[in-house]
Amino acid sequence: MRDETAEDENWGQQFDRLPATPDERVVEARPTRTEVVEWWVERFGIDPKMFDGYTFWEKGAGKIWAFNGEVVDPIEVQGLGMRILRTRQRHWKPSTNAVQRFCRDATKNVIELSPGEATAFVAGHDQQLDWWEGDWGYLTAAHELAGEREPLGVGLYLHGELRSTVPKGRQEELVKLD
Amino acid sequence: MNPLERYAPLVDDEAAFLEACERSLPSVVRVNTIKTTVERAREALDDEGVAYEPTDWHPGILKLENSSPGTNWPYFHGWLHGQEEVSALPAIALDPQPGERIWDTCAAPGSKTTQIAAMMDDEGVLIGNDNNLGRLSALRHNAERLGVTNLVVSNQDARNFSMKPFGERTPDKSGSFEQFDRVLVDAPCSCEGTCRKNPDVLDEWTMNHVASVAGIQKGILRRAVQVTKPGGTVVYSTCTFAPEENEAVLDFVLEREDCEIVAWDVPDGFETAPGITEWEDDEYDSSVTNARRVYPHQNDTGGFFTAKLEVNA
């Protein structure tokens, strides 16, 4: 049961707003709004203004949600905006939906896939892509669609291999793609 | 009995009505403007050789000629969402604006909810509520695939929807609110209007179900009016032809809550019929004629009912 008095507990059934800065932090190890925005800026080179209207929330340990509006803190609901990031682990992991939503204009760590590679990626296959000369770790995988680059999802690049992290529920939607 | 025969006397052309109800519906998608533009979505479909035809009343609603949605790149990217053509009407009547607070009372699986989010430019507070936890996961999945970030997913019985989670009792707290600018009640119903997609609804239809679901509809619509600001908008919609679930529900709520039924602008090129004021032994308030009925033969769609209410100041 929830202890109403224990404000420093990270309770899994409610959303708690991230503190703006470390000075305002009450719950230990909870990331701050600044850290979350800076992570996206540093990792993908996106414009921080993209998050100006957003509030950031934690539900359960480390799961960060972005909401484009204002509600009371804390709030007990089933969902609040979009799950964008998994924190409280050594390498923070962005979500497929967040990368699709926020990384269209990313300037860093975007791996552009050929049509065949893109199809394999969204089907959930890991691929040997030795030609990538950028960073290891979580990348935005993208391909060209209707004349522009469009993000597909998150790939984990390690030792020359791009691992697809496209969730099963999204893969199924492409079974009949060819 | 076949419930369609019950409603045939309401329509201008019984034969056309019954004949249209027999035909299956084309696969229709709505372009999700949170993630792309209508132009780019069409270009992506063209590039993949997916044949489609824009509807003549809404540029972002496309009829696919052969394939079903879910099998092409623009669908994977959340640029398209499979949605019955006629079900785009309630969000149009609701006319949501960016930054507003809006409640979708019976939101899952989220076609109309995500359409509302797009019309809000994905800004503000949109509460997508459903009493069925299983259906809520479909709402969440659809909303995230479509890139919606202004949605609060809530699991309450809409008839006694509590504003407490949103700070009703702590009005001084940042972000708290106790009333909505607009509410959509897309109510559970007998669904004969979906018979072109799911003919089973006709076999399962019973008068008992009409009576019990009408009680639920009245409860939800009353609550919707109660939590809407003076001057705010409530839209009531169903996919049934039953007057007991449409005009009778409006009439019931008009008598008990401070609101009125107002006219709304149906898109040009989309044919509708007015709500009816008499059915069997009952008479309804004359303002129910502001509601719009949609019969399948009028626009080659499913059947539908949409009314717009204004909460009195």
| Contact criterion met (CB < 8 Å) for B174 and A146 | no
Q: Which positions ≥6 away from B217 have C-beta within 8 Å?
A: B185, B187, B188, B189, B238, B245, B249
Confidence of residue A42 (pLDDT cuts 50, 70, 90): very high
A90 touches A63 (CB < 8 A): no
Question: Could you tell me the two tokens for B52?
Answer: 């489609």
Alpha-carbon span A140 to A38, nearest angstrom:
16
List A residues 51-90 in contact with B (Cβ-Cβ < 8 A). 53-54, 66-73, 75-83
Alpha-carbon span A87 to B96, nearest angstrom:
34
Q: Which positions ≥6 away from B206 have C-beta within 8 Å?
A: none
CB of A120 less than 8 A from some CB of B: no
Cα separations (Å) of A92 from A137, B26, B49, B237?
10, 44, 39, 44
Residue in B with minimal Cα distance to A145: B44
Confidence of residue A170 (pLDDT cuts 50, 70, 90): confident
Query: What pLDDT digit, counting tens, does each position of B60-91 carry?
Result: 999 998 766 657 899 999 999 999 999 999 99
Query: What pLDDT digit, counting tens, does each position of B6-64 carry?
Result: 999 999 999 999 999 999 998 999 999 999 999 999 999 999 999 999 998 999 999 99
Residue in A with minimal Cα distance to B44: A146
How does DSSP assign B126-155, residue by residue? EEEE-S-HHHHHHHHHHHHHTT--SEEEE-
| Contact criterion met (CB < 8 Å) for A79 and B151 | yes
**A110-174: CATH architecture:** Roll (2.30)
Confidence of residue A11 (pLDDT cuts 50, 70, 90): low
B264 touches B305 (CB < 8 A): no
Q: What residues does each domain of chain B span?
A: 3-25+85-311, 26-83
Residue in B with minimal Cα distance to A172: B70
Alpha-carbon span B93 to B238, nearest angstrom:
13
Alpha-carbon span B88 to B95, nearest angstrom:
11
Which among A64, A73, A82 is the top mutation candidate for probing chain B, defined by the most B β-carbons within 10 Å of its own β-carbon?
A82
Determine which one of B189, B191, B239, B259 is catalytic.
B239
Distance in angstroms between the alpha carbons of the first and the last residue of chain B: 45
Q: Does the domain made of B26-83 have the CATH classification 3.30.70.1170?
A: yes
Alpha-carbon span B27 to B6, nearest angstrom:
28
Cα separations (Å) of A20 from A57, A66, B28, B72, B173?
11, 14, 44, 41, 17
Annotated binding site of B for S-adenosyl-L-methionine: 106-112, 130, 157, 186
A18 touches A33 (CB < 8 A): yes
How does DSSP assign A17-28, residue by residue? EPPSSGGG--ST
Smallest CA–CA distance, residue B129 to chain A, in Å, is 9
Q: What residues does each domain of chain A span?
A: 16-94, 110-174
Confidence of residue A177 (pLDDT cuts 50, 70, 90): very low
Confidence of residue B120 (pLDDT cuts 50, 70, 90): very high
Residue in B with minimal Cα distance to A83: B144
Work out the angle between the directed axes of helices B247-256 and B207-226 (0-180°, nearest 10).
Answer: 40
Residue in A with minimal Cα distance to B130: A78
Q: Could you write out the three-class secondary structure of B183-233?
A: EEEECCCCCHHHCCCCCHHHHHCCHHHHHHHHHHHHHHHHHHHHCEEEEEE
Write down the pLDDT at residue B204: 93
Which among B42, B76, B129, B151 is the top mutation candidate for probing chain A, defined by the most A β-carbons within 10 Å of its own β-carbon?
B76
Write down the pLDDT at residue A168: 86
Is the pLDDT confidence value at A4 over 60?
Answer: no
Chain B residues lying within 8 Å of A76, measured CB to CB: 165
Mean pLDDT of A62-72: 97
Query: What pLDDT digit, counting tens, does each position of B157-178 carry?
Result: 999 999 999 999 999 999 999 9
**B3-25+85-311: CATH architecture:** 3-Layer(aba) Sandwich (3.40)
| Contact criterion met (CB < 8 Å) for A145 and B41 | no
Mean pLDDT of A71-98: 96
Write down the pLDDT at residue A130: 96
Smallest CA–CA distance, residue A52 to chain B, in Å, is 12
Confidence of residue A172 (pLDDT cuts 50, 70, 90): low
Assess whether B239 carries a catalytic annotation: yes
Write down the pLDDT at residue A5: 43
| Contact criterion met (CB < 8 Å) for A75 and B152 | yes
B70 touches A173 (CB < 8 A): yes
3-state helix, strand, coil in chain A (%, to 5): 25, 30, 50
The DSSP letter of residue B258 is S
Alpha-carbon span B216 to B187, nearest angstrom:
8
Smallest CA–CA distance, residue A143 to chain B, in Å, is 10
**Mean confidence (pLDDT) of chain B:** 95
According to DSSP, the β-strands at B151-154 and A79-80 are antiparallel
Query: What pLDDT digit, counting tens, does each position of B142-162 carry?
Result: 999 999 999 999 999 999 999
Write down the pLDDT at residue A1: 40
| Residue B129 burial (10 A CB sphere; 0-12, 13-18, 19+) | buried
Confidence of residue A13 (pLDDT cuts 50, 70, 90): confident
Query: Position of tokens 């391909």?
Result: A143
Write down the pLDDT at residue B69: 62
What is the phi/psi pair of residue B293, to 5°? -100, 145
| Contact criterion met (CB < 8 Å) for B150 and A67 | yes
Nearest CB to B147: which of A75, A100, A148?
Answer: A100
Is the pLDDT confidence value at A103 over 90?
Answer: yes
Is the pLDDT confidence value at A9 over 60?
Answer: no
Q: Exposure string (b/e) for B85-111, b if CB count within 10 Å is 16 or more?
A: bbbbbbbbbbebeebbbbbbbbbbbbb
Alpha carbon B221 to chain centroid distance?
13
Chain B residues lying within 8 Å of A169, measured CB to CB: 141
| Contact criterion met (CB < 8 Å) for B43 and A147 | yes
* Count of all residues that appear for chain A in the document: 178
Cα separations (Å) of B141 from A86, B125, B137, B265, B285?
18, 18, 6, 32, 41
Cα separations (Å) of B244 from B182, B225, B259?
24, 19, 20
Confidence of residue A26 (pLDDT cuts 50, 70, 90): confident
CB of A108 less than 8 A from some CB of B: no
ipTM: 0.95
Which among B29, B40, B46, B73 is the top mutation candidate for probing chain A, defined by the most A β-carbons within 10 Å of its own β-carbon?
B73
| Contact criterion met (CB < 8 Å) for B123 and A53 | yes
Q: Identify whether B3 is preceded by a cis peptide bond (ω within 30 of 0).
A: no
Alpha-carbon span B255 to B238, nearest angstrom:
20
